[in-house]
Chains A and B, each alone.
Chain A
């Protein structure tokens, strides 16, 4: 019986996501620190073939659930499949990537397996034989190190904490775990994924640069007039030329909810910060934003930070960004777009 079980799921194309491959690297690393072995369980369409692609990861055993019922993400079927894998493997530590699919179902699986669960894990360490996990509380404001004596212990791993595992494919010889699904567990029907058109997609997790637009874009400018259409053109032009992902301050998306005219392509999905997402990008450029703690939260995992702001005394200018340009973002972004061609 392996000490650690890594649970993965396939994507709609039957392959593993970057986050899944990163969690393999995390598992290999932890297994080495604990001096034990690990198994891998895979849920989803083509799970057996997917297991073959990671056959060289060092797992002592592979399990798969590839029933049609788990071809698409659905709580009731995923939770049953994940529970079956946890119980089958009998491991004391269960790791899984913190994907939307596992963020939804793994808490329920932990409950059914009589396990404890912690999520958003950003680091794992072993000290004197004790497994310690790091995670943030209060929306990336307080960092904690914690441990648990109870087992099994399910840990959902954040993306970006390890490079993606790379290794040889082979024959995993995965054991199929039989799970029966009742009609009552299939009351939810998956209709599909709704994506914006490729050229309209503004959220790009793999982009090197995050561009954050604040409410200042929709305020009256120096001439006393609103320039929302200009703002839209400038921002969309920048996103296209720089290949950047778009983030928004809360105040900007709230304007839209309140029915005010604002940037039509912006939604709550773009919101970063205290009540939004905390994206991971190598660089971030903030424009027309103002804010202190809530704003800093959205930038927690942005390595290099620059801002364009009209107010040199803004809290954002004080110790949060590497460089703050005191300038009119309309003028600067127009020039930037020219230079980017």
Chain B
């Protein structure tokens, strides 16, 4: 059982560094994100020796997890605004599929890949995933926590638990965390303000004294960048070596005992109404709304 006082041992030094305006040296923005099945694919659960999985999982076309992708674009945008900043993408997935994914993702924005060879399936335990990712982040050469912002999606499109980023932050000893982020604004002194989504279409507005912090992004506000072959060429100098030296990670279902996984029947007997005037349709809709 952990103690209540989980303050990083080097916290005092962090504060001193912030007061010395360390952010002017640039940020280290580590984005956690991996692949998920293309949302247009039909998913069918199957039982495997290691727990539930997806039918033909290795064959399913993949995309970068949508929320993680938003966080990657926001990271690149922030790095452009803060000179000297660098973006890392830490990705846990099957090496061969990561390589495929990088053919498109690497053309979007500049980053350095840190690859971990393991499953990217949604049925894995978030605690195990977080531990693996936190270990990989700690191992980034030259990592300086006083300049560190850990980005990622507020949830994945696979596990959809919304807990991994907080667990990574805890393991890194980062106590300033934000979830459902749509906006970050940096100040010259290294502090920043954040908008987090809360209930009812509202935002919680906060300011933080500075790095280190964890930001789990919602959609942000940036569009998907167009492919840029020059960015792709630059990224690929790091992508291939990163894939070659990707360490295997034994990530599994942990202590979860899956009793059942199914796609519930959802077929409805749809009534198609056509060749009917707008007046008739409108009357029917109004009656339904008021009913």
Chain A residues with CB under 8 Å of chain B are 17, 73-76, 79-80, 83-84, 87, 99-101, 103-105, 107-108, 110-114, 116-120, 132, 136-150, 179, 182, 184-185, 187-196, 201-205, 209, 242, 253-254, 257-259, 268-271, 274-276, 283, 285, 292-294, 296, 304-306, 308, 312, 317-328, 331-336, 338-340
**A193-B202, A193-B205, A306-B285 in contact; A75/B270 too (CB < 8 A)?**
no
**Is B22 interfacial (CB 8 A cutoff)?**
no
Q: Say yes or no: B199 contacts A205, CB within 8 Å.
A: yes
* CA–CA, A280 and B197, complex, Å: 17
**Is B136 interfacial (CB 8 A cutoff)?**
no
Q: Say yes or no: B122 contacts A138, CB within 8 Å.
A: yes
Q: Which A residues are in CB contact (< 8 Å) with B179? A: 75, 100, 103-104
Chain A, residue nearest B41 (CB): A293
* CA–CA, A195 and B218, complex, Å: 17
Q: Which A residues are in CB contact (< 8 Å) with B223? A: 254, 257-259
**A185-B175, A271-B219, A324-B272 in contact; A113/B281 too (CB < 8 A)?**
no
Q: Say yes or no: B221 contacts A203, CB within 8 Å.
A: no
Q: Say yes or no: B39 contacts A275, CB within 8 Å.
A: yes
**A293-B39, A319-B268 in contact; A142/B263 too (CB < 8 A)?**
yes
Q: Say yes or no: A339 contacts B283, CB within 8 Å.
A: yes
Contact of B278 among A112, A142, A179, A335 (CB under 8 A): A335
**A107-B167, A320-B270 in contact; A293/B40 too (CB < 8 A)?**
yes
Q: Say yes or no: A99 contacts B199, CB within 8 Å.
A: yes
Give the one of B15, B202, B208, B281 with max A CB within 10 A.
B281
Q: Say yes or no: B157 contacts A112, CB within 8 Å.
A: no
Q: Say yes or no: A324 contacts B271, CB within 8 Å.
A: yes
User: How many residues on the B side are at the interface (Cβ–Cβ under 8 A)?
Assistant: 97
Q: List 24 A-B contacts (CB under 8 A).
A: A75-B175, A75-B178, A100-B180, A107-B126, A117-B127, A120-B161, A136-B160, A137-B159, A139-B39, A142-B263, A145-B261, A182-B5, A184-B11, A184-B15, A188-B176, A209-B289, A275-B39, A293-B39, A293-B40, A312-B274, A317-B270, A325-B285, A335-B278, A336-B286
Contact of A325 among B196, B208, B281 (CB under 8 A): B281
Chain B, residue nearest A305 (CB): B268
Q: Which B residues are in CB contact (< 8 Å) with A75? A: 166, 175-179
Q: Say yes or no: A132 contacts B259, CB within 8 Å.
A: yes
**Is B77 interfacial (CB 8 A cutoff)?**
no
Q: Say yes or no: B206 contacts A190, CB within 8 Å.
A: yes
Q: Which B residues are in CB contact (< 8 Å) with A196? A: 201-202
Supplied contacts A149-B257, A293-B40, 19 more A-B pairs, CB within 8 Å: A80-B4, A100-B199, A108-B170, A113-B1, A139-B39, A143-B261, A145-B258, A146-B256, A147-B259, A187-B176, A205-B199, A268-B219, A275-B39, A312-B274, A322-B269, A322-B270, A327-B274, A334-B278, A335-B283
* CA–CA, A39 and B258, complex, Å: 28
**Is B43 interfacial (CB 8 A cutoff)?**
yes
Q: Say yes or no: A144 contacts B176, CB within 8 Å.
A: no
CB distance from A136 to the nearest CB of B (A): 7
Q: Say yes or no: A188 contacts B4, CB within 8 Å.
A: no
**A75-B176, A99-B199, A275-B219 in contact; A108/B270 too (CB < 8 A)?**
no
Q: Which A residues are in CB contact (< 8 Å) with B264? A: 143
Q: Which B residues are in CB contact (< 8 Å) with A194? A: 195, 202-205
Q: Which B residues are in CB contact (< 8 Å) with A336? A: 282, 285-286
* CA–CA, A187 and B151, complex, Å: 19
* CA–CA, A296 and B42, complex, Å: 12
Q: 9 closest Cβ contacts across the A-B interface?
A: A203-B201, A335-B282, A326-B274, A107-B163, A257-B223, A268-B219, A107-B166, A331-B278, A75-B177
